[in-house]
Chains A and B, each alone.
Chain A
Amino acid sequence: MMAAVGAPEVISQLESAAKVLMAPPSMVSTEQRQHAEHIFLSFRKSKSPFAVCKHILETSKVDYVLFQAATAIMEAVVREWILLEKNSIESLRTFLLTYVLQRPNLQKYVREQILLAVAVIVKRGSLDKSINCKSIFHEVSQLISSGNPTVQTLACSILTALLSEFSSSSKTSNIGLSMEFHGSCKRIFQEDDLMQIFMLTMEVLQEFSRRENLNAQMSCVFQRYLALANQVLSWNFLPPNLGRHYIAMFEATQNVMLKPTDSWRETLLDHRVMDLFFTVHRKIREDSDMAQDSLQCLAQLASMHGPIFPDENAQVTYLAHLVEGLLNMINGIEIEDSEAVGISSIISNLISTFPRSVLTALPNELFASFINCLTLLTCSFGRSAALEEVLDKDDMVYMEAYDKLLESWLTLVQEDEHFPRGCFVQPAVQVFNSYIQCHLAAPDGTRNLTANGVASHEEEEINELQEDDRELFSDQLASIGMLGRIAADHCIPLLTGLLEDRVTRLHGQLQRHQQHLMATADPGTVDRKVLDDLYEDIHWLILVSGYLLADDPQGETPLIPSEVMEYSIKHSTEVDINTTLQLLGSPGEKATSIPGCNRTDSVIRLLSAVLRTSEVESRATRASLTGLLSPQMGKDIVWFLRRWAKTYLLVDEKLYGQISIPLSTAFGADTEGAQWIVGYLLEKVINNLSVWSSEPELANDTVELLVTLVEKRERANIVVQCENWWNLAKQFASRSPPLHMLSSSVQRTLMKALVLGGFAHMDSDTKQQYWAEVLHPLQQRFLNLINQENFAQICQEEAVKQEIVATLEALCGIAEATQIDNVASLFSFLMDFLSSCIGLMEVYRNSPETVNLIIEVFVEVAHKQICYLGETKSMKLYEMCLTLLQVYSKNNLGRKRLDVAGEEDQYQDLLLIMELLTNLLSKEFIDFSDTDEVFRGQEQSSGAGRAVSAADVVLYGVNIVLPLMSQDLLKFPSLCNQYYKLITFICEIFPEKIPQLPEELFKSLMCSLELGMTSMSSEISQLCLEALSPLAEQCAKTQEKDTPLFIATRHFLKLVFDMLVLQKHNTEMTVAAGEALYTLVCLHQAEYSELVETLLSNQRDAVIYQRLADAFNNLTASSTPPTMDRKQKQLPLSTPSTTQRSLSPCQTMEMLSAAQAETPMGLQTRMPPERGERPAKAERGRPVGHDHLSLI
């Protein structure tokens, strides 16, 4: 269209359109704006716009129009590449470069866009042997040697544009070429051109680093080349032979480590390269922006690995040089704030990159200096990080640097057997000491002290979403714990001493407060400052002790760390076992008051220091001082005890090569020590549950400790021998205070623990008695209540409602206790309740909160048990759920609620029902049920004919849910997700049930799918696409035409076709959409041909028509006619935008450029990762629509 109009007209049209776009929003209407945008879009799609664009560039004064002309050239060159004369491309490139050179005053965004066009031309040409674009490097080096800063800056811009373009990262422009094309270009580039760029850069840096005084302009050029060097060293070298799927993954990696190919050996192993970066950094380190780049270059060099090193010797030499340079750089300077993160990156990169054998091959002295330097840096960064916390800085650079160094320590010491024995002990002591010091209050420590020693003490509001320190700082604590183990000889006694001291002080302080309170009876006068300081000290000491003594107990059986075990063994000859046991068994006494306390096992003494803390806490609660205590400290104590118990309690000698006698005597199976401590822990739990019911997190940690004690059979065996356990069980069963004041989640977990305990080893009488005291009262009370004649009248009374709620909560807890070995008995127990619960649904039909809780019981039972149930039992559960849903439906059908809570209640019911249905369906994927049971089940099920299948229940459920689902309700994200997950599951698992659905239900299901595909999030859209293939396959199987499902799938074919070919879509969906399209095309081949024909018939240009037609032919060529064979689906028929997966690079390129020219919205091959830079570029003036190459 543009070609028909003369150039001057085009320019004036574009210039007035630009004026509209640049005008303030209030000055132009939306229509005007859209019209102006359209003018630019069609301009960029015009055929062979080169002459017009040149003319524009030479005459127009409007920057935005210049920008658009550059863009149009870039897009047209790629689109029409195969049709263009090679020498005209060449001259176009020369024109653009000369243009920029001659106009130093161009707007930056125009210049960058023109250079981008140059880079794109060079890249597109790099695979085309008929054209040579290499001369550009020669031109650039001439620009650099000009010595003119402006020209040098321009040269840098050209190189940067080339680098970005070839990096095939998110910085690459979207020119609609395949992944393979980008990969091939990149491989060629990184072998040759990239090295040239690097050499040019190094020359510039060398030149600048020699100069004495740099003026501002030169310094600016220097900075740009330094950034360029960083870009080269951060190049993500693409290895040869990487499959196309991996390329995408590979290019998405963050934090690229330098892994050059071996052709870079001479360049990068030359020491002068590294030396230059050290020199550069020394020169500019006070400029925080430049220093970041120079340190990043060094960090990249520190991460170098791979084929570039011919052998280990080369690695050792390289590393030695790096470490020397680093030490020279750091020693004798005061590190700037802006250097901290960079320096720690260099260290962390080299420690994680170089193998231990290379580190140990360093000259001894050098290695020792390095470790020494690392130690000092770690301690210093740790102190600065603490200061940052006191000052509450937003930008925590030292914290970040400290984290990196601590992580490096962990890497180092985890494999310390490679290093000289004991070489990390002293460093570990120092780092450990400094950590402790930073976390203790004055005078021992420096916590909350600002640089000039002033204490700051602020009480901020902390909400429940804020993570506890034990999680927030878990990485730091894990490193410090590990260092503590390395230097156990120093650290364990240190922690013990500090903790014992704090506990004694806490005890004294609490006693003083008690006397004070007795005298004045006014709790308001208590000054908490001293107490809070003690609590905070104890808090950190317990956290560090926990991380030191045991690992994160998430695994199966955590072992006692070998360093701790060895430490205990080493000293066991000096230890008096009886005194140790005495120390352990008397948490109420001061440790130092026990005669011979210095001849006790230190590991046990550290535990007993925590027990002493716990004892002070418990006694304070008994003395009614709970208000003065710290719930945080209470959490720390039970957290520690839980972590400790998982590892040490009933230590199993078989798991260890050698075992410490004190540890096995104190905590081994069948020892008095183990029994005593179980009893003690139980008492602690009971005490906490009664005094801390108001602290939800503490109560939760406490009840989790209880679960830990009973979830392992061996521990549970001891627990059930304790009288306290039985008391707890009886107390809970009788619903007497104070346990009923616990929050509902804690009550559930408590119930779970009590049930788990019931599976411990007991003689049959005892077991019977146990269940009689734990579970039967629950059943009895419940039955007594609901069987009362006047239940219907009293059911609304508050006491009755509370009893019902408590029972339902308990049932959830019982379901949570399900394990494979108790499912049989728990299932039958729960089933009796479930049928009564359905009765309750009827009685409480007007109490949404009760109805909700009843459904939740079913959800929990299905969630925890269905996977273990054999056929008969599953059937029983299905039937029960079906009845539940029927009752729910009956009570809610036609019911109109107009009160304020109506919608919220309904939302919650629906969410639970869908969760229930999804849980029932999960049986189809996860099934642990014993086949034996299945057989027995078949024998038993006499009335197999009336058996209910999961499908029936689920479809019935969907029938209830669908009419209640509204667009408004779908706005609840969790509900929307659950809903679509459910319907996709149904389509995948029971496609044969779909055609049998009642008409209305079928319609709403199809509507839901369409809605989900077209107007929901990409996650939902993907789920819906996944549901389509099974539906199409179902149609193919039945061979029936004109069924509603057949017609529906035809409609979906059009939707998916449009989505893939004509609309912008997310690459994440390509696989699902490709598969859906493939099966749909198989089913509706005629309709597919029609869609293609329609698309083609809109194309008037014969050349382009042919290219597009060929592309579609290629698409189906590999399988004509397409069939629904499983294997074929693995190579899904690709739409033009998915061709990269099944066509060769050339074919793909050819087709895409053709298709881009043709389809209304344009096609795109998106380069993963997602184009993070897009918005920024758009702001710089890229017009709307650029990223889908709209060309018609």
Chain B
Amino acid sequence: MADLDTDFTSGDAGASLTFPMQCSALRKNGFVVLKGRPCKIVEMSTSKTGKHGHAKVHMVGIDIFTGKKNEDICPSTHNMDVPNIKRLDYQLVGITDGYLSLLKDNGDLREDLKLPEGDLGKEIESKFESGDEFLVSVLAAMGDECPIAIKPMSS
């Protein structure tokens, strides 16, 4: 994950981290902010109190970075925050002190992303050491950034 003190306005100046959307317009597989965290909606259902009550939306989401489950219930007329999600592919050109050196499309280099922990990190390291050329997909939302996938470079 990116360091918290990273200046996250540098990427897209002025772009807000979230935008509002009426609860009923959210969709399963879409994204929403639950408990302050960007989540992917894995379950959505409605209910009402009494036969003539108004709909409430019950949402279950999983934190896209940590996998933690979050739930919320709110009147369906309310607005919820939806995170702006970005996914970018970078070519991996180096690993230094646990940080990835990633090549942007425009030729710039960024070196602010840590080598992730766990299986993906190990895979990145071993692939890199064996000289494979590959892309790293980075997921960014609400100021957090995290490599989530790798893919061999298509020749």
Contact = CB atoms under 8 A, between A and B. Distances in A.
B52 A890 contact: no
B137 A633 contact: no
Given A694-B24, A694-B55, A900-B63, A798 B50 contact: no
A743 B87 contact: no
A216 interface: no
A528 B123 CA distance: 61
B148 A899 contact: yes
Given A464-B46, A904-B42, A896 B76 contact: no
A631 B55 contact: yes
Contacts, number: 132
Nearest to A463: B47
Interface in A1033-1047: none
Contact of B25 (A460, A693, A897, A904): A693
B87 A459 contact: no
A656 to B, nearest CB: 38
A898 B46 contact: no
A463 B51 contact: no
A740 interface: yes
Nearest to A890: B154
A536 B51 contact: yes
Interface residues of B, number: 51
B52 A898 contact: no
Q: Which of A627, A891, A899 has most B Cβ within 10 Å? A: A899
B24 A696 contact: yes
Given A462-B48, A798-B19, A846-B89, A743 B64 contact: no
A694 B24 CA distance: 5
Interface residues of A, number: 48
Interface in A734-783: 740-744
A693 B24 contact: yes
A740 B21 CA distance: 10
B148 A847 contact: no
Interface string B82-106: 1011111100000000000000000
Contacts of B51: 462, 532, 535-536, 539, 630, 632
A454 interface: no
A694 B21 CA distance: 11
A796 interface: yes
A694 B87 contact: no
B53 interface: yes
A894 interface: yes
Contacts of A1067: none
Given A741-B22, A899-B139, A461 B49 contact: yes
B110 interface: no
A222 B76 CA distance: 62
Nearest to B123: A896
Contacts of A899: 64, 139, 146, 148-149
A478 B35 CA distance: 48
Nearest to B63: A900
Contacts of B151: 891, 894-896
Contacts of B63: 900
Contacts of A849: 29-30
A852 interface: yes
B150 A896 contact: yes
B27 A462 contact: no
B45 A463 contact: yes
Contacts of B49: 459-462
Given A535-B52, A896-B149, A743 B24 contact: yes
Contacts of A744: 27
Contacts of A743: 24-25, 27
Contacts of B66: 900
Contacts of A631: 48, 52-55
A738 B15 CA distance: 24
Contact of A633 (B22, B45, B52): B52
Contacts of B75: 694
A463 B58 CA distance: 10
B149 A897 contact: yes
Contacts of A632: 51-52
Interface string A821-852: 00000000000000000000000001111001
A658 interface: no
Interface in A620-634: 627, 630-633
A531 B89 CA distance: 57
A532 B87 contact: no
A898 B149 contact: yes
A891 B87 CA distance: 14
B149 A895 contact: yes
B131 interface: no
B47 A898 contact: no
A803 interface: no
Interface string B134-149: 0001010000001011
Contacts of B45: 463-464
Interface in A880-913: 890-891, 894-902, 904, 908
Given A462-B47, A462-B51, A694 B22 contact: yes
B154 to A, nearest CB: 7
Nearest to B16: A798
Contact of B120 (A539, A896, A904): A896
Contacts of B40: 900-901
A694 B79 CA distance: 10
Given A694-B77, A890-B154, A532 B25 contact: no
A51 B62 CA distance: 70
B137 A846 contact: yes
A898 B22 contact: no
B86 to A, nearest CB: 5
B72 to A, nearest CB: 16
A459 B50 contact: yes
B119 interface: yes
A630 B52 contact: yes
B62 A901 contact: yes
A695 interface: yes
B108 to A, nearest CB: 14
A890 B155 CA distance: 11
Interface string A664-702: 000000000000000000000000000001111100000
Interface in A426-462: 459-462
Interface string B52-70: 1111000000111111000
B36 interface: no
B118 interface: yes
24 contacts: A462-B49, A462-B50, A464-B45, A535-B52, A627-B54, A631-B48, A631-B55, A694-B24, A694-B76, A694-B77, A695-B54, A696-B24, A697-B55, A741-B22, A796-B85, A848-B29, A897-B148, A897-B149, A898-B149, A899-B146, A900-B64, A900-B67, A901-B40, A902-B149
5 tightest CB-CB pairs across the interface, nearest first?
Answer: A900-B67, A630-B52, A846-B87, A899-B148, A459-B50
Given A462-B50, A852-B29, 9 more contacts: A462-B51, A464-B47, A631-B48, A694-B22, A694-B77, A696-B55, A846-B88, A890-B154, A899-B64
Interface of A: 459-464, 528, 531-532, 535-536, 539, 627, 630-633, 693-697, 740-744, 796-798, 846-849, 852, 890-891, 894-902, 904, 908
